[in-house]
Structure 1
Amino acid sequence: MKEATARIKINRLLEGSGWRFFPEGTAPANIRLEPGVTLKTADLDTLGDNFEKAGKGYIDFLLLDTKGFPLIVLEAKAEEKNPLVGKEQARKYARSLNCRFVILSNGNLHYFWDLERGNPYLITSFPTPDSVTGYQKVTPNPQRLIEDLVDDDYIALTQRPNYHAEAAWRNEAERSGFVQVNKLRFLRPYQLKAIHALQRAVKDGKDRFLFEMATGTGKTLTAAAVIKLFLRSGNARRVLFLVDRLELEDQAKKAFAALLCADFQTVIYKENRDDWRRAEIVVTTVQSLLFNNKYQRLFSPTDFDLVISDEAHRSIGGNARAVFDYFIGYKLGLTATPRDYLKRFDKTSPTTRDPREAERRLLLDTYRTFGCESGLPTFRYSLLDGVKEGFLISPTVVDARTEVTTDLLSEEGFVVEFKDDTGEDQQEVYKQREFEKRFFSEATNMVFCKAFLENVLRDPVSGEVGKAIVFAVSQHHAAKLTQILNLIADRMFPGKYQSDFAVQVTSQISDAQQFTINFANNNLLGSGNVLPSYKTSKARVCVTVGMMTTGYDCPDILNIGMFRPIFSPTDFIQIKGRGTRKHNFLEQLFDAGIKETVKEPHKKAFKLFDFFANCEYFETEFDYDEVLKLPKPKDKGEDGGDPPPYAETYEHLGSDILAGIKEEMIGLDGMRIDRMFFEKFEEVVLENDFIAQAIESGHWDRVIDYVNREVFDKPEEYYTLDKLRKAAAVDRRLTLREILEKIFGLIPRFKSKDELLEEEFAKFVADVKPEEAAAIPAIKTFFKAYVTSDQVRHIIESKHYTDLATNPVFSSSDFRAVPPKYRTFVPEYVKDYVSLNQFAA
């Protein structure tokens, strides 16, 4: 039965990918079975009984090209066997038929093997005939990839092939202007080192690479050089460039067009759905490919020979990794988040919801995905490296805490004592993560803003407050801070600004994206407010939540304010990175007389204001450049005002009796009222333009914050996450993101607990590649039990193995069937890579 089931599954997978057992119109059949096997239409779903013993001892599929020549050998194995056991048999068979490609499958696990490229690659669907035919046109030659000479003018030679022969280049006095006018880009020494490190990795037989490069070091330019190297050497026919936000899609397309358009064409997938195949470089967001599993429906695993993941830590997280792993070929990850920021948390707690723990798992997964489990990327260039070599600027960290925020940051928290309605003494404790969520203090925000404006770096030309970005907790918090900053600026600089000193730049604000562009171009709400000949934005401070982090380039930023606690290393690195770029302020000044009076025109520093000890967390024993002791803000209620707000309670004073009782078993579909509740919630969020746009742009932090604040717990329906989970009737704990992904079609349905377990185990097998094929069922049983059962985890961790004798989930005999090395390896793997919270009921 297992053999027959495997065959049926393989048949359906082949047909689903466009392969034909029988002629269809003018299209001939392109699947042939080995001699001695006669196939009839009626036999398609039944053929397979004992198929490995039929004929010559096996039955293979031979997949043909358009001319009827052998293209792929498909070696089929029974379900209980690892398909890799047929590897050498398939290789011999393929060689005898002059086939370059092999598929190994047991109906559940499938490997695609290009005999000219190395090892079999785990795939989730079979490639289409057209895609493999196109893939065959690329004849990989790793030696060319290794030996191709990459010098600092590698990109410039594409932009202007004969630049070095032109008079303006040869004249040293004119050279700088020539480069600027023609926008020629030359690789910096460290960018060359990155390319050379990749070439060495290829020489060592690797096909996955990770570049860890600080914000501001030109990852896109480096990626362009890698793309040219692969396309020019014939090791890639087409490249997929994945980004995680909508605005980065257009940014990447423009960058590659400017750098490589003379040789290669770049398109954005959503703008070229019908003719994307004409381009060598295809740019798209991960969200676009995830939508209704578009990557599986519209693409074949062999459509791209090189896949690059920009901001890899974000763009391969969660479901997105499935997109990245779907495609066969070389993989390159780009990230600014160093592994140095990985912190250890209590891994034994399955319900930990600390966002830093989730971030740790994502970072670990990033390094694992790119074959860097040791923590050493293919190439690393840190902020410190950039500062030492004169390409970047290190921050001046300003550690500023009030007594209130100091308490919020402490282990004890900020304790508020009050009397309840009965007169009993009660107390409420608040932590840093609750600032501006449950704990509100206008006085604290006022102190933050005042300290910020009194200590900022000034513009070296105009003497104004240097351009600044302030990062707030939420959109409401951003609105508050913007108002306070404008009020203080009006007192500090009378008549200079009319409430346009600070601007809220968040997704709820119309034209917010254009605001970010105008701020970078120095014309936000006007320009040259102090000196008409000096082009600098009239608005001096942008207050945002997350819009101006990843990929935002504004080199004349002098001040950054972290007015919120930060739990993500990625967010911390990106926020800090907004100020690290160098800048010459004289480029904005058009009065030669004034230029001579500017003493320090070059940006040599920027201030990073930290009100929540973020640097202390991410930078061990950080040597703070400046410490501000801030005054303690007055607590609300000190001067007879209202006390801190507490949740109101309702006390029912009337009598009540039990009127009746009825029992009803609810099926897996849940109650109709639950389904209607979920459908109403779907309508609410689908009709909300802000939610739709933010999801399309990939701004999940904004979406989650907005739904929690603007949709949940409102009087109309009182939507809550718990209610939605019950209404969805899934046998595990759903996240709000999953619910929204389902509503907006990013996932076709909610996966059951067992489906998720199967996915996680498939990742485990792909990463670990167990050689003990016969033991895989036992390892899987152990894996699932350890993930889903608190009791099993406790027994394994405490080594009280005798308790397994009475355990209904995982018995002693089950444990004995697991090979000894996996008894410790599986728990360690789960702790590092599997989020247990999603499997809770």
Structure 2
Amino acid sequence: MSKKEYSERDICTKFITPAIEAAGWDQTTQIREEYSITNGRIIVRGKLHTRAKNKRADYILFYKPNIPIAVIEAKDSSYSVGAGMQQALGYAELLQVPFVFSSNGDGFLFHNRISNNGVMEQELPLDKFPSPSELWNKWMEHKGLSKEQEELITQDYYSDGSNKTPRYYQLLAINKTIEAIAEGKNRILLVMATGTGKTYTAFQIIWRLWKSKTKKRILFLADRNILVDQTMTNDFKPFGSTMTKIQKRQANKSYEIYLSLYQAVTGAEEEKDIYKQFSPNFFDLIIIDECHRGSAAEDSNWRTILEYFSSATQIGLTATPKETKDVSNIQYFGDPIYTYSLRQGIEDGFLAPYKVVRIDLDKDLTGWRPEKDTKDKFGNLVEDRIYNQKDFDKTLVLEKRTQLVAKKISEYLKQTNRFDKTIVFCDNIDHAERMRQALVNENSDLVKDNSKYIMRITGDNEEGKVELDNFIFPESKYPVIATTSKLMSTGVDAQTCKLIVLDQRIQSMTEFKQIIGRGTRINEDYNKYYFTIIDFKKATELFADPDFDGDPVMIYQPKGEESPVPPDEQTDPEGSDGTSVPDGNGFDDDDLDSDGTISDPPLRPKRYVVQNVEVKVSSERIQYFDASGKLITESLKDYTRKALQKEFASLDAFLQRWNHADKKQAVIEELANQGVFFEALAEEIGRDLDPFDIVCHVAWDQPPLTRKQRAERARQENYFVKYGEQAKKVIEALIDKYADQGVVPIEETQILTISPFPNFGTPIEILKHFGGMDGYQEAIHKIESALYNA
């Protein structure tokens, strides 16, 4: 067998791997073949999902288990030595590795991304592949690091012997943090989208610094009890007896790893602050989880802790850096040394994508003005003015609006799954309670079975807060629906949440990202691959904001100086620990205007409650995301037409591709991966249409036939005269299956194992009626020709 006949895998096995090993690379610890970098984006199609192809490098070379240093892309010998270089460079940029190779088994093309002598690419013979130390020394020289810094950088991450290793972006975050500390940086900000494993990343950072004895006493600060407890029992468990949780008014200085709530180490009176029991230089590393929630504000108690331990290296972790005129994470920590965004997480397939159901209500769009002398249900005279969406549920309650929202939520769940975990975000605690009542009335059958089917989980309600853990844990069936205002907007690891309802007017990009983050976790064990957002208050218009997934911009303005940038952060009325927090002026969240500022003390009632104003749905539409993750703003049919006409120059070009495909399923999957939403289009045009008819109708205005019409037409063709009686019965049954289920099932031989085919014999006996597998496949092609004959 000549080299020209070898497959790509043969080239790897016979030529590339031996060349790498001969250069001194260890097969078990340094060479990773067919290395999956990403999981492949989850693409949602109606109620179904599929995964796009993941990014997988032929080889990743690791200097140490935690340090990827080179990418190799292989091709078979029909390609040139450098044919894989552009693909390899794409992987190298994602992994941020310095050295890149392409090979066809005859030699290597070497691309040095850190070259400073003008020569970036050169060809190398197979026997001249660089050794691990050769590449590492080039990298160390480029970084300008000392031997002492090298020891810290090469400290391994924690491994329990299982297959769990940090994902590529976690490894980047860990390595960049360790490098920054090795270089003497003491204020570090990491931005990682909700659901991407910030706590696991923090654990690995601490482990390497602790094991290398670079940092000996470490404090991990969080702002919710549940976050501290989850961290200790899950990600931080390997620290074992060296770890403790700081309780209020109690300081034991014999441990090495400390976890604490901010609130546990600060008190109302300064002398009671427990952190003062530790000397200012006691901790040499502090990790601040969810640091956007106030720790960087100059006048906060939490900031006081950080300033007291100012000699410690401090690392801020957040999904959404808080940047307002008064509060700036960037001003305190500096620019993020690494950002892994929500968009990137969805693109890589590590985070769940979402579809948006936008429902506009008539009174929200047109406003409502009371007739003269209108009184609310409590006898208060309603002020005569136009009330709009900014007012609803804050200064004015339309009871029928609340009932309609509850009805639409319940309708959606009845169409999908009434036990899908659901969070309904309301404008305030009062709104959350009224929404709970309205949902109870819409779902009385399930509430009769268990009163915890619907719960209000807000900071003022102990019964609800007690159920927060049960809502979060996938194993707990109840509660199913949680109504809330602020308490669940951050730090709640709701892995199985499949529906997020926005009946809250959201002006803050930080808050919006946090709320969306409640649904982004994937849990394959519970069939959670994507989630749905139902938006009643136009909050999802923030998806169109360039800042939605852009880099954080520092807009910090020192106190006393005017800022042209208006504050976009709403005060958090439920406090970071879930308790009700007055703002110091005696107002609660009901006194906040929509932009988060404090109103004058009200002379009128806090809010009018009006009973009998009819509210209707003005428009309801599903918004989809194309194959590249961009929101489709035009109609689905118009978008699909453009996508298909870009792919196929004409109807004839499509027919040729369809008719010549060995399996129609391949064409369907190819189009689905490019953003054709077959199931959604079928609901719009006609559910029993074949994908073939959907394409021809949407793109080229051809009159569609139903599957049953195509099946009837196929039976009348003369394609099947040569077959015997038993074979014709099988063909008839296959055409019936097509009429019921479409073309994809009849292309799989497994169909012969289900009814009615066992009546005709075993699969092997059925194939014999066609002269074997080849004859059977020929019959399938004849059926398809009869179905799609122009």
| TM-score scaled by length of structure 2 | 0.47
| TM-score scaled by length of structure 1 | 0.45
